[in-house]
Amino acid sequence: MVYFLNALLGVSFVMHDEVRINESIRVPEVRVVGADGENLGIMTTRDAFKRAQEEGYDLIEVSPKATPPVARIGDYGKYKYELKKKEKEIKSKAHVTETKVTQVKIGTGEGDLKRKAEKAGEWLAEGHRVKIDLFLWGRYKYMEFGFLKDRLEKFLAIVPESFKIADEIKKSPKGLTVVLEPDKSGKSAPKKDHDQNK
């Protein structure tokens, strides 16, 4: 019954490239939904296909896992278009926000820093959070926090996308870390005038 109700509502349990139509429907009988959404009951697949042909439509299997499978009489081209549209809507609603991670080090060249900043900007533009780790090793682990924080802030200043600080700069097992998130207001986080200090 659930499968039939979904078929009436136009919901499909198969992707558009897996849909069987007309002679490719191999089951002996199907529950048929008419072109106007009416319940036509259970028919042999042959009779259902014949009826679809008489009405100038295709027979489209929309719920193959139902017992018996549900087939709809309709325009296959239009059905494919509507199905693709629904899939697109589902994908857009199911956009998953991830936390992407990038790592910088003291002494990383300007070219590499710029590439990493651009990548972080791309992730932010896609709606993801970005965790930036300033990796410290050896003697760098014992340097003054203020100095290290300033180095990380210099990196943030070259991130090309607007962002908000989701998790302030703090110490981590690897060194220092900060988490950014997209700023939908379009305003960048406050940036220090590092360029003036060059």
Q: Does domain 99-197 have CATH number 3.40.50.280?
A: no
CATH class of 2-91: alpha beta
Other residues' Cβ atoms within 10 Å of the Cβ of residue 96: 6
The Cα 187–Cα 181 span in angstroms is 12
Q: Do residues 42 and 68 lie in contact, with contact meaning Cβ atoms separated by under 8 Å? A: yes
pTM beyond 0.75:
no
Q: Where are the domains of the chain?
A: 2-91, 99-197
Can you give the pLDDT of all 198 residues of the chain as single tens digits? 444 444 444 443 344 457 899 999 999 999 999 999 999 999 999 999 999 999 999 999 999 999 999 999 999 999 988 888 888 777 766 556 788 999 998 888 889 999 999 999 999 998 899 999 999 888 878 888 888 899 899 999 999 999 999 989 999 888 999 999 998 765 445 444 444 333
Query: Among 139, 137, 176, which Cα is nearest to 155's?
Result: 176
Q: What residues contact 181, with CB distance under 8 A and at least 6 apart?
A: 124, 129, 130, 163, 164, 166
Q: Which helix (H) or strand (E) holds 159?
A: none
Strand, coil or helix: 62: strand
- Reported as half-sphere exposure (CB side, CA atoms, 13 A), residue 130 has a value of 28
